[in-house]
């Protein structure tokens, strides 16, 4: 008898009929001889509706603790209804909140990380041959406070629970049927991958591919969780995420990802002295502002300038932090640019193949598009460009690396959140 964790996102349980359909799928798996733990997100747009309601009451900065109390109700609705639907089909089922499932987190509201899971109640219910339905996206602190895990939290919950109970398989059911060489909404000939390595998937997830959240992939890699991404609307075979994927001969780049929400900040006329970069980026880190690509120019007349990319939603906060450093850092001016995108190529075959990045630069240049910033690692190259012609760039790169052919290998398409 296999132990399976099945995670369903918000669109999969968006209304009563979809909840009934998911329950049928779970009961089907159980009747096949599996023990089933199910992790569920909030229904459809429930979370967005709750956020909007909070803003009507408390403006744009509601108390973080109360927001966690509010938002976790969305998942509690889902698990209760799904448990009811499973019972209507003749199977015993029980729903658990995050704290009832033993998911303990750090004491941070809104973006808490799981510290440990005590699966005693989950395992006991499984011994009683019940379907266990766990609320994703939430946990509790050592002091008993309710927390949420932030974006992608239900994916992370599912993988962490699978690791804690030593599940044979963790299936992420979503609104796409696997991982693709790029977003199939942009490139119609994008192919679904049969398998992909943890490292490649982690790069794609970090670079904007929304099928899996990076924290979920990190957890799966660390705990060697057998992870599969598949559709909640069909029975098609999905994509397996594993330690090492079979690399098709001749395929160097596996996939193309993008992030539309990119901005650039440039700090000009920075006096040359030790500690300037440290002062700026320490201050940004203290405000929980993530910085991506950093570029420093040469020193001219004892002054330097440097630029960095970040999420477009963090620009105003970052500019306020930097302005506060003007008296100590002594820079001449600061400016920002929005409307940028980051497009990235990813593939394990890039490690030992020269000219991969050069082909990317040449392909973008042939379209008459300027590259603003570049970042590389062993298995990825990213370029920050103006966002107006993103689709054209993705299509050109997909062709340039041979992903339009039958030998196409990779994925990173759209998906639901949480």
One pLDDT digit (tens) per residue for the chain, 418 residues: 799 999 999 989 999 999 999 999 999 999 999 999 999 999 999 999 999 999 999 998 899 999 999 999 999 999 999 999 999 999 999 999 999 999 999 999 999 999 999 999 999 999 999 999 999 999 999 999 999 998 889 999 999 999 999 999 999 998 888 999 998 889 988 888 888 999 999 999 888 887 888 999 999 999 999 999 998 888 888 999 988 766 555 578 889 999 999 999 999 999 988 888 899 999 999 998 999 999 987 777 788 899 999 999 999 999 999 999 999 999 999 999 999 999 999 988 888 788 999 999 999 999 999 999 999 988 999 999 999 999 999 999 999 998 885 543 333 333 443 4
- C-alpha neighbours within 13 Å on the C-beta side of residue 120: 5
Q: Which of 137, 249, 251, 254 is nearest to 198 (CA)?
A: 254
Q: What is the pTM of this model?
A: 0.83
**Matching residue, tokens 């993008």:** 258
Handedness of CA 110, 80, 42, 203 (dihedral sign): positive
Domain 3-174 has CATH 3.90.1150.10: no
Q: In the 8-state DSSP scheme, what is residue 175?
A: S
Instruction: To the nearest 10°, report the CA torsion of 328, 332, 337, 341.
Output: -60
The alpha carbon dihedral of 200, 201, 205, 210 has a sign of positive
Domain extents in the chain: 3-174
**DSSP characters for 252-302?**
---EEEEEEEEEEEEEEEEE--TTHHHHHHHHHHHTT--EEEEEE---BTT
């Amino acid at each position: 008898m296999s132990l399976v964790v099945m995670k369903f996102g918000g669109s999969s349980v968006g209304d009563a009929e979809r909840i009934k359909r998911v329950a049928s799928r779970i009961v089907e798996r159980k009747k096949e001889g599996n023990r089933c733990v199910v992790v569920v997100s909030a229904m459809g747009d429930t979370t967005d509706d709750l956020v909007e309601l909070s803003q009507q009451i408390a403006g744009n900065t509601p108390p973080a603790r109360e927001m966690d109390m509010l938002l976790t109700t969305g998942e509690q609705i889902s698990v209760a209804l799904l448990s009811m639907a499973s019972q209507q089909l003749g199977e015993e089922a029980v729903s658990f909140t995050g704290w009832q499932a033993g998911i303990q987190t750090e004491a941070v509201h809104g973006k808490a990380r799981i510290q440990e899971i005590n699966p005693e109640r989950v395992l006991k219910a499984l011994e009683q041959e019940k379907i266990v339905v766990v609320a994703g996206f939430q946990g509790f602190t050592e002091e008993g406070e309710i927390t949420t895990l932030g974006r992608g939290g239900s994916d992370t919950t599912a993988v962490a629970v699978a690791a804690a109970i030593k599940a044979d398989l963790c299936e992420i059911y979503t609104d796409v049927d696997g991982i693709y060489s790029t977003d199939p909404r942009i490139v119609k000939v994008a192919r679904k991958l049969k398998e992909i390595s943890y490292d490649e998937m982690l790069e794609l997830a970090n670079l904007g591919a929304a099928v899996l959240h990076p924290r979920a992939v990190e957890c799966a890699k660390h705990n060697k969780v057998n992870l599969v991404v598949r559709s909640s609307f069909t029975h098609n075979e999905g994509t397996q995420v594993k330690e090492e994927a079979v690399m098709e001969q001749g395929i160097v780049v596996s996939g193309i990802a993008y992030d539309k929400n990119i901005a650039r900040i440039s700090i000009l006329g920075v006096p040359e002295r030790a500690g300037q970069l440290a002062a700026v980026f320490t201050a940004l880190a203290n405000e929980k502002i993530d910085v991506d690509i950093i570029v420093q120019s040469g020193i001219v007349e004892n002054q330097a300038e440097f630029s960095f990319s970040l999420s477009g939603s963090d620009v105003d906060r970052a500019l306020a932090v930097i302005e506060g450093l003007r008296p100590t850092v002594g820079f001449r001016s600061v400016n920002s640019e929005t409307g940028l995108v980051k497009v990235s190529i990813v593939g394990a075959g890039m490690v030992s193949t020269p000219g991969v990045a050069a082909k990317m630069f040449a392909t973008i240049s042939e379209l008459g598009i300027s590259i603003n910033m570049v970042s590389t690692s062993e298995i990825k190259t990213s370029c920050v460009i103006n966002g107006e012609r993103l689709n054209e760039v993705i299509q050109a790169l997909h062709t340039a690396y041979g992903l339009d052919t039958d030998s196409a290998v990779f994925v990173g398409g759209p998906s639901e959140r949480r």
